[in-house]
Amino acid sequence: MILWEALQYEFMRNALAAGILASIACGVVGALVVVRRMSMMSGGISHAAFGGIGLGYLLGFEPIYGALAFTIASAMMMGFIRERTEISEDSAIGILWVTGMSLGVIFIGLSPGYAPDLFSYLFGSILAVPSSDLAVMVVLDAVILTVVYFLYEEFLAVSFDEDFAKASGVPTERVYLILLSLVALTVVILIRVVGVVLVIAMLTIPAATAWQFSRRLNEIMLLSSILSVIFTIEGLWLSYIFNIASGATIVLVSVATLLLASALKKIFQ
């Protein structure tokens, strides 16, 4: 099989490992994003990351740390805007989205010389994940899983009925901020795999597909992680065979599966 042959290369093994690590995060957090209807919010946070990437280029530090700082900061800002201002969430997302992208473009323009991997931050570079990044991904995954384990009931309740959760004594504002932070961490993991522009796909498509076949939130989390692993491997394999962009291929494979699953569900119901 071609995939086996491909796995002889270290970059392919790293790509596979990165895909699996990213799938865990995007399956678990994606389920929360989709159920809470936060797809556009996660799009805003991921595009804000571009500002941090640009800052990394300008000041000469690893761009992924800039992305981490910008996603967390934008998550906090979104939480603040929602709770403390009159600006609608929808507009706030739009503002965040374009501010991040614009800052990124300006920072990169100001940086001396040429920005070689710019394209990979925008559209992913799963074939170029160094082992050091894998370690970061393991840590971020561990943080995400721990937080979701402890706050699962709260996330479920806040997504279902925020007023009731608040009336029951759940600190809904803080729970929401934590959820946004988890989205931020997941975005950072996913930037390696599919890039800033396509992150939103990995956060929503596997979970939306899984939702059609699940009764409970934890079932969506598990199933969407599994689906995401499958999509990543399929996408990697196809991109290897046809020598096309891996991130985009993963996304298109996911979209195709979502459409197929929806059609099958309609037929068999």
Partner 1 sequence: MNEVIRLEDVWVRYGDIVVLEGINLSVYEHDFLGIIGPNGGGKTTLLKVILGLVKPVRGRVTVLGDTPERSRRFVGYVPQITLFDREFPATVLDVVLMGRLGRKGILGKYGKEDLKVAYDALESVEMLELKDRRIGELSGGQLQRVLLARALVANPKILLLDEPTASVDEPTKTNLYKLLKKMNDKVTILLVSHDMGVISSYVEKIACLNRKLFYHGSPEMEGEAVEETYQCPIYLIAHGFPHRVLKKHKRGK
State the Cα–Cα distance between residues 241 and 184, nearest whole angstrom.
33
Residue ranges of alpha helices (H) inside the chain are 2-6, 10-35, 39-59, 63-84, 89-110, 118-123, 131-160, 162-167, 172-194, 199-211, 217-242, 246-268
Token pair for 247: 């991130």
Closer residue to partner 1 (CB): 191 or 207: 207
- Applying CB under 8 A, among 48, 67, 78, 220 the residue interacting with partner 1 is 220
Closer residue to partner 1 (CB): 35 or 196: 35
- Applying CB under 8 A, among 22, 217, 252, 258 the residue interacting with partner 1 is 217
Count the site residues for partner 1 by CB under 8 A: 26
Torsion of the alpha carbons at 240, 4, 24 and 38, rounded to the nearest 10: 20
Give the residue from 34, 38, 35, 30 showing the smallest Cα distance to 82.
38
Token pair for 46: 């991921």
Closer residue to partner 1 (CB): 55 or 151: 151
Mark 124-163 with x for binding to partner 1 (rule: CB under 8 A) and - for no binding.
--------------------------xx-xx-xx-xxx-x
Residues in region 33-62 near partner 1 by CB under 8 A: 35
Q: Does 84 bind partner 1 (CB under 8 A)?
A: no
- Applying CB under 8 A, among 88, 91, 131, 168 the residue interacting with partner 1 is 168
Residues that bind partner 1 (CB under 8 A): 35, 150-151, 153-154, 156-157, 159-161, 163-171, 211, 214-217, 219-220
